[in-house]
Amino acid sequence: MSNLFQPYRLRSLTIPNRAWMAPMCQYSAAADGPLQGVPTDWHLAHLGARAVGGAGLILTEATAVSPEGRISPLDVGLWNEEQREAFRRITRFLESQGAVPAVQIAHAGRKASTAAPWHGGRQLRPDEGGWTTVAPSPLPFTDDGPVPREMTTRDIERVVADFARTAELALAAGFKVAEVHGAHGYLINEFLSPHSNHRDDEYGGSYENRTRFALEVVDAVRAVWPEELPVFFRISATDWLTENPEDPREGWTGEDTARFAKDLLAHGVDLLDVSTGGNAPGAAIPVGPDYQVPFAAKVREETDLPVAAVGLITGARQAEEILASGRADAVLLGRELLRDPYWVNSAAVELGDEPRRPVQYARAY
């Protein structure tokens, strides 16, 4: 059996393979009314197709812990019972196809309140269906963007409680993995990075202070999540600022990530989902195949925390080599699964493994 199709065990959970679906926003929920933030038939079909296609674990798109935590008005959320019941339908189907249902819980911070990409992706004013965003510091994401409201300590406490409440709802909805979204310039990433966190209280300044909010969220989620089920954390391993000698801006680094991984492990996180970027517009990012994998490999080499690699992983043998070389414990596929929902089953055939095909399709083979 190839490395890619070996089962993977975390706590009491066994994931059938190591080819997983990354979170990808669909901008397909209702923006307001009683169905605000509720996943729709689109989400069932979209996520369900990748389960049929063989993915071992399927992560939802960034699922907001509150209305103001959504990236856009069209994002899904999980802060009420209606959303919980809609997700329950999805998790049941994913499990029926042999996939592990996982939820990414998130708050978008200063990058919230945006239009869908096909509507321009710009930040929306309150009179356009948007809202005032919040952040660790009153710094806009772009020079000409809206200035977010600086969060008070009471705001921080409320958001931590929101993460815990969403985790409770996610468990009731049938999810087996909870992933805390700390990447891509959203709220937790904003606190971690000195590029976006200019606070002078206990949540800013030193490394210990800037990581405090993230660890409080992890502790709150871990406290309500069953001991036998895993918690993931998604991180942007670098802002691509100090990694680039030509960019004088201070930011979060690969060294910070390796250090933080040890803290996350001590607080009960079971796997680090390693991405990069998203917090600093204009950062020079050397995009290419495997360009983020070295950051995952660094964490795996320097800590005991398992890692998943992501980013321009498009080929079966490429994914297999990442695992076989010991650079990651699993791979997450994003755009490649948008192009081909059955990529994982095709990869199994290419690598000489047994694809997980539904009995309804047997006559095709």
pLDDT for 249: 78
Is residue 2, in this structure, part of any structural domain at all? no
* Pairwise CA distance, residues 197 & 110, whole Å: 11
Return the half-sphere exposure (C-beta side, CA atoms, 13 A cut-off) of residue 314: 8
Whether 1 shows a pLDDT value over 90: the answer reads no
Whether 133 shows a pLDDT value over 90: the answer reads yes
> pLDDT-derived band of residue 209, with 50, 70 and 90 as boundaries?
very high
pLDDT for 245: 67
For residue 346, give the CATH number of its domain: 3.20.20.70
Is residue 1, in this structure, part of any structural domain at all? no
| pLDDT, mean of residues 29-50 | 96
pLDDT for 172: 98
Are the C-beta atoms of residues 24 and 62 closer than 8 Å to each other?
Answer: no
Give the helix ranges, DSSP H, for 225-356.
254-266, 293-302, 316-324, 335-339, 343-350
Is residue 67, in this structure, part of any structural domain at all? yes
Q: How many domains does the chain have?
A: 1
* Pairwise CA distance, residues 343 & 203, whole Å: 43
pLDDT for 247: 67
What type of residue is 358? P
Is residue 123, in this structure, part of any structural domain at all? yes
Is residue 27 among the annotated active site residues?
no
Considering the entire predicted model, what is its pTM?
Answer: 0.97
What type of residue is 249? R
Whether 243 shows a pLDDT value over 80: the answer reads no
User: In a 3-state reduction of DSSP, which class is residue 169?
Assistant: helix
3-state helix, strand and coil shares in percent for the chain, rounded to the nearest 5: 35, 15, 45
The secondary structure of residue 202, as a DSSP letter, is: T
* Pairwise CA distance, residues 281 & 204, whole Å: 21
Whether 216 shows a pLDDT value over 90: the answer reads yes
Whether 67 shows a pLDDT value over 70: the answer reads yes
pLDDT for 90-130, tens place per residue? 999 999 999 999 999 999 999 999 999 999 999 999 999 99
pLDDT for 186-206, tens place per residue? 999 999 999 999 999 999 999
| pLDDT, mean of residues 226-251 | 88
pLDDT for 93: 98
Is residue 3, in this structure, part of any structural domain at all? no
Name the active-site residue from 8, 27, 186, 203. 186
> pLDDT-derived band of residue 244, with 50, 70 and 90 as boundaries?
low
Is residue 129, in this structure, part of any structural domain at all? yes
* Pairwise CA distance, residues 60 & 76, whole Å: 9
Give one DSSP letter per residue of 211-256, joined into a string. Answer: THHHHHHHHHHHHHS-TTS-EEEEEES--SSTTSTT-------HHH
Which residue range forms the structural domain that includes residue 175? 8-364
pLDDT for 151-193, tens place per residue? 999 999 999 999 999 999 999 999 999 999 999 999 999 999 9
Are the C-beta atoms of residues 70 and 108 closer than 8 Å to each other?
Answer: yes
Spatial CA neighbour of 285 closest among 294, 293, 276: 276
Percentage of residues of the chain with pLDDT beyond 70: 98
Percentage of residues of the chain with pLDDT beyond 90: 95
Spatial CA neighbour of 123 closest among 181, 63, 71, 196: 71
> pLDDT-derived band of residue 356, with 50, 70 and 90 as boundaries?
very high
